[in-house]
Amino acid sequence: MLPRGAVFLGIAILGSCAWLAYYSHAQGVATATLGKRAPAVVRKAVTLSAQELERIAGDYDLDGEVWTIAPRDGRLFARHRDLPELEILTETANSLFLPEGGGDLTVIEDHRGGVAGLVLRQADRGERTVRRIR
């Protein structure tokens, strides 16, 4: 008779294998049907008011580097040193995203409803907190 832990581990491994087989099959069907991988979810950017954009504007610390987020022509842009500007798209006043699947940003509010920071989620880098410094 096998110990209980071994049985649980075996079930977990079998479940993972089944999910991987299903996922691989689903991607194969999408590739055969569409001629490419399944399309990413299309996100729709909305226009925020100037006041909502100014609320998010500021300097942020990301892994020891300062990024400046500033509104221009009704849109948000992030700058870091001499790198090209990066547009930040808005889904809601508290939910932002980077173009082409670059990541998601969620506003962290302070006790007064101001912006204390952002949570950045990127597929290749995981989740990081971006602290507002000014």
pLDDT value of position 34: 52
CB atoms within 10 A of CB 88: 22
Residue limits of CATH 2.40.128.50 in the chain: 50-132
pLDDT at residue 82 in the model: 85
- Model-level pTM? 0.67
| Residue 99, CA distances (Å) to 28, 33, 87, 105 in order | 26, 26, 7, 12
Domain 50-132 matching CATH 3.40.50.1820: the answer reads no
Q: 10-residue block means of pLDDT along the chain (134 residues)?
A: 43 37 44 50 88 97 95 96 93 94 94 95 94 96
